[in-house]
Each structure stands twice: as structure tokens, then as C-alpha cells.
Amino acid sequence: MGQGRGWEGAVLRLMRAKDFTLTVTDAEDVTPHYRRLRLSDGGLLAAAGVHPTMWVRLWFENAGRPHQRAYTLVDPDPATGTFGLEFALHEGRAGDWARAAEPGDTIGATVQGTGFQHPDPAPSRLFAVADPASLPALNSLLDALDTVPATIWFEGGTEGLPLRTDPARHELRTVPRRDAGAHLVAEVRRALPGLLRSTPAPYVWIACDTATTRALSSYVRKDLAVAKQRVNALGYWRAT
């Protein structure tokens, strides 16, 4: 690792990251803007194990330079050495690759930096803020916290998307994307304080575009004083 992958690859090599070659075995257009691939893992799951919201870095070539993006594993199966990847098809090299991918295609992947700790004490309610790009991670989290009720703000349309929400315990609030995410921030700020007052052990999970995630994470930690170990926030893409 590192050769042909610039400074990012060199840094990951120093951090003892592990490299694998994935092979596409199946491809499905879930919606015109959301694509699912199934891949054989090249030994990845046996070497790295599996945990909720687990992600890998995929390597693409972009104008002759290495380019990496992180994607959450969908339904990883160590027994067969397979997992899915789902792509919200934004413009860019990763989206272009996913659109064209077909069985037999290969791509390099690196495992480094992924991890998950179950909240302790267990949440009495989950508060999640997500969008199509982070949907695989949201689904993995809902699977892991399978008995925990949740309030979910989801930015963008949900028609046709594989949301693993259960109306019996999950309240889904869809929010249109407006003003570069500012509308979502306002909706969460309007509702979350009152909801937190009736939640003895909250867990807040935020995974949207980088600017929105940063704004909401700061608000939850500083203004609402939610303990940092009860907040997990990660920007999934950059608005341009």
C-alpha cells in the first residue's frame, strides 16, 4: 500500500492499514440515483472482523491521481466473504465508477480507522440525522440498536430507498434539502431540545454533509450540553 496512492496511501501504510481487492459480483439500480453492488471481499472480513457501521476506503483514479472515499458495508457475511455497498450517485469519480460497475470489475479497498462502541448505558432513545449518502450506515446502526426507539431526520426523498425503519418504534421525519442544509439544521434545532428533555439516556448520531454535520454536532454538544460520548458525528460528503 502507498505505491500509486500518494500521501494518503503513505499515511495509511504507516498506520498499518490493510489492503484488499474487491470483486463486483452483482449490480442493481435501486432508484435512478441509488445503486447497490454486491462484492466478494478478497479476505477482508476474515482479516478485519465485522462491527456495526463498518466502513472501508475505496480507491479511484481521478485525473491521474489517487482518490479515496469511504463506504459502509451492507449485510457483511463472513461465511461467504461477501458484502454490499450502496452509492447515492452524486457527481464525481466514485459515482461514475459505481454507475458503470458490473460483475467482474475489481477495486482496491483499505481498512483503517473504522470502529464502533455500543453506547453505555444503552440509549433510551436514538436521535439520528442522515441522508441518502449515509443511509447504509443508518441502517446498520438501526440493526445494531434493534430494540431502541428512534427519531430520525432524513434529508431528501425516501421513495424507493431501502430504509430499515420500523413504524412501531421509529419516527421518521423527512426534510427537503434547502439552503445547502440550513433547513435541516433549523428543523433539528427546533425539535431536539424538547425531545431531549423527556429522554433520560439519549444517543445522538449525525451523518450528513460536512458543513451540516459540523453545525449540528457543535449545537448538540455545546448548546444542548449532550455529553461527547453520547454523540457520534461524521461528515459523509462535501457540498459544492
What stretches in the chain show pLDDT beneath 70?
A: 1-16
Secondary structure E strands in 63-208: 65-72, 74-77, 82-88, 106-111, 125-130, 150-155, 170-175, 202-206
Q: What are the residues whose beta carbons fall under 8 Å from the beta carbon of 219, sequence distance 6 or more?
A: 185, 188, 189
Provide the 8-state DSSP code for 59: E
Give the angle 71-111-103 at the CA atoms, nearest 5°: 55
Beta bridge partners of residue 205, listed in sequence order: 128, 232
Q: Within 10 Å of residue 236's Cβ, how many Cβ atoms? A: 24
Secondary structure E strands in the chain: 18-31, 34-40, 55-62, 65-72, 74-77, 82-88, 106-111, 125-130, 150-155, 170-175, 202-206, 231-233
Q: Give the pLDDT confidence of 155-209 residue by residue, as tens digits.
A: 999 999 999 999 999 999 999 999 999 999 999 999 999 999 999 999 999 999 9
Q: What is the pLDDT of residue 1?
A: 38
203 SS3 class:
strand
Q: What is the pLDDT of residue 2?
A: 41
Q: What is the pLDDT of residue 7?
A: 47
> In terms of Cα–Cα distance, which of 17, 169, 21, 223 is closest to 107?
21
Do 73 and 55 touch, CB atoms closer than 8 A?
Answer: yes
CA gap 82, 70 in Å, rounded: 17
Rg (CA), the chain: 18
CA gap 175, 157 in Å, rounded: 8
| Cell numbers found for residue 124 | 433510551
Q: Are strands 82-88 and 34-40 parallel, antiparallel or unpaired?
A: antiparallel
Q: What is the pLDDT of residue 190?
A: 98
From residue 4, alpha-carbon distances to 10, 59, 143, 178 in Å are 9, 10, 37, 39
Structural domains in the chain, CATH included, are 6-111 (2.40.30.10), 125-233 (3.40.50.80)
Q: What is the pLDDT of residue 73?
A: 98
| Cell numbers found for residue 204 | 445522538
